[in-house]
């Protein structure tokens, strides 16, 4: 469609998805990991490298996507290396759907790979360097501290508790126990989360995501190609992205850009939060999940603590199953760009291919959301709504 009514709703389908099984890549280069996941996703779709005419990646070695296009031996007519951190790969599905709708490509390959664990990265590494770094540097900011500020502010404004945040980790651990590739498979309790070492008050160690190597890939295609393949039809129903910046220091920590990207994606999909059966929410920290669920409209602002408590995010137990692979809190957080794994688990749920213990019954509508950067500073938000036809 053209003009004000232009939409990607129904313009593209995800037909291939693959998550690398490794969590520590001591014997694989970043290029090899990209090739592994690309091969896996294309095989899942029933396609080959020769079919690919669009390529999308973020943070790949070399200049944008150029090195990986050469390494994979692709011949493309469209390429995109938009870098939005943890929101990048959800945005890439949006961009791929737009490119397909515009006739720029018909088979889009999206790959993620990295080795942060093998390189010794930690969650308390220095924060992202931006134009305002000169103002921040004297205070020696780290990523965990910035999210600690968000959590403390939410507690001050709305009475949110550490116990409520802990329930998010508990839910993730209940799901991870069924994932043989998850880094942390042990089910934990609220008490164990609160007893773990304090990292950035009020966030404990178990409030923080894992650091892993590996990666994942997706194949997004035109409707015509999707219907020619013997694969489940996973339709892109709505998508949006935005950036929320610190506004020169006048920044409200209590909400994220998800307030805007979520509203736009739901409008494009002609859906409401109540229609969604399953969500994959970027979980760099437990507070990230709580704030995002509020901003996407699954509960009112300030009620996130009550919403996530008492197992409400546990599949088969609660109202809104989330991150049934264990998420970044327990399973996988490759290259610190967790949006990819969020989409992959949505695809599994919509296909009915999640582990039987966590598979959501009659899952036909699902949402993935990514956050890139820091909620306390400049960050990107990207929302994707998918449907099983």
Q: Tell me: do 55 and 172 sit in the same domain.
A: no
Query: What is the predicted pLDDT for the residue at 335?
Result: 86
On whether both 228 and 102 belong to a single domain, the answer is: yes
Query: Is 1 inside any structural domain?
Result: no
Confidence at residue 249, expressed as pLDDT on a 0 to 100 scale? 77
CATH number, position 29 = 3.40.47.10
Same domain, 92 and 175: no
Residue 138 inside a domain? The answer is no
Looking at the structure, tell me whether residues 41 and 182 fall in a common domain. Answer: no
Identify whether 132 is part of a domain: no
Peptide bond into 107 cis (omega under 30): no
Are 299 and 384 found together in one domain? yes
Tens of pLDDT along the chain (389 residues) come to: 444 567 999 999 999 999 999 999 999 999 999 999 999 999 999 999 999 999 999 989 889 999 999 999 999 999 999 999 999 999 999 999 999 999 999 999 999 999 999 988 876 555 555 666 677 777 777 889 999 999 999 999 999 999 999 999 999 999 999 999 999 999 999 999 999 999 999 999 999 999 999 999 999 999 999 999 999 999 999 999 999 988 877 889 899 999 999 999 999 999 999 999 999 999 999 999 999 999 999 999 999 999 999 999 999 999 999 999 999 999 999 988 889 999 999 999 999 999 999 999 999 999 999 999 899 888 999 999 999 99
Q: How many residues does the chain have?
A: 389
Report the distance separating Cα 110 and Cα 387, nearest Å.
19
Total structural domains within the chain: 2
In degrees, rounded to 5, the angle at the alpha carbon of residue 377 between the alpha carbons of residues 146 and 193 is 30
Cα angle 113, 117, 120; round to 5: 130
Would you say 306 and 159 are in contact if contact means Cβ atoms under 8 Å apart? Answer: no
Determine the Cα–Cα distance for residues 381 and 84; give it in Å rounded to an integer. Answer: 8
Domain boundary residue, one of 168, 200, 233: 233
Residue 17 domain boundaries: 12-118+213-233
Q: Strands 214-221, 107-114: parallel, antiparallel or unpaired by DSSP?
A: antiparallel
Residue 126 lies in a domain: no
Judge if 291 and 370 occupy the same domain: yes
Are 221 and 170 in the same domain? no
Which tens digits make up the pLDDT trace of 311-360?
A: 999 999 999 999 999 999 999 999 888 899 999 999 999 999 999 999 99
Check whether residue 304 and residue 349 sit in a common domain. Answer: yes
Whether 160 and 49 share a structural domain: no
Looking at the fold, whether 106 and 148 belong to one and the same domain comes out as no
Same domain, 247 and 311: yes
Note whether 251 and 340 are same-domain residues: yes
């Amino acid at each position: 469609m053209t003009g004000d009514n232009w939409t990607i709703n129904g313009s593209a389908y995800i037909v291939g998805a693959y998550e690398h099984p490794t969590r520590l890549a001591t014997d694989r280069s970043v290029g090899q990991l990209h090739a592994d996941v690309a091969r896996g996703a294309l095989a899942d779709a029933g396609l080959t490298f020769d079919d690919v005419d669009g390529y999308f990646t973020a943070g790949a070695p070399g200049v944008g996507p150029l090195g990986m296009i050469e390494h994979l031996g692709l011949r493309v007519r469209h390429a995109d290396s938009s870098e939005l951190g943890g929101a990048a790969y959800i945005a890439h599905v949006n961009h791929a759907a737009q490119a397909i709708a515009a006739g720029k490509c018909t088979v889009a390959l999206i790959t993620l790979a990295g080795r942060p664990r093998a390189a010794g990265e930690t969650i308390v590494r220095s924060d992202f360097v931006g134009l305002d770094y000169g103002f921040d540097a004297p205070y020696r900011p780290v990523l965990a501290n910035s999210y600690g500020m968000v959590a403390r502010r939410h507690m001050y404004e709305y009475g949110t508790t550490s116990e409520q945040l802990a329930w998010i980790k508990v839910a993730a651990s209940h799901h991870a126990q069924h994932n043989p590739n998850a880094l942390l498979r042990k089910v934990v309790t609220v008490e164990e989360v609160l007893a773990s070492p304090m990292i950035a008050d009020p966030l404990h160690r178990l409030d923080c995501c894992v650091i892993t190597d590996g990666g994942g890939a997706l194949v997004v295609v035109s409707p015509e190609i999707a219907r020619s393949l013997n694969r489940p039809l996973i339709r892109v129903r709505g998508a949006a992205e935005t950036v929320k910046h610190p506004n020169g220091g006048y920044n409200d920590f209590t909400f994220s850009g998800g307030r805007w990207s979520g509203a736009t994606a739901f409008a494009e999909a002609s859906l409401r939060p109540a229609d969604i059966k399953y969500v994959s929410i970027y979980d760099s920290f437990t507070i990230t999940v709580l704030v995002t669920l509020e901003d996407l409209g699954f509960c009112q602002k300030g009620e996130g603590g009550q919403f996530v408590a008492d197992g409400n995010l546990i599949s088969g137990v609660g109202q809104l199953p989330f991150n049934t692979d264990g998420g970044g809190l327990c399973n996988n957080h490759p290259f610190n760009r967790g949006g990819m794994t969020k989409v992959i688990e949505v695809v599994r749920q919509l296909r009915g291919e999640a582990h039987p213990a966590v598979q959501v019954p009659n899952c036909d509508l699902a949402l993935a959301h990514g956050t890139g950067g820091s909620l306390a500073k400049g960050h990107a938000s990207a929302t994707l709504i998918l449907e099983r036809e």
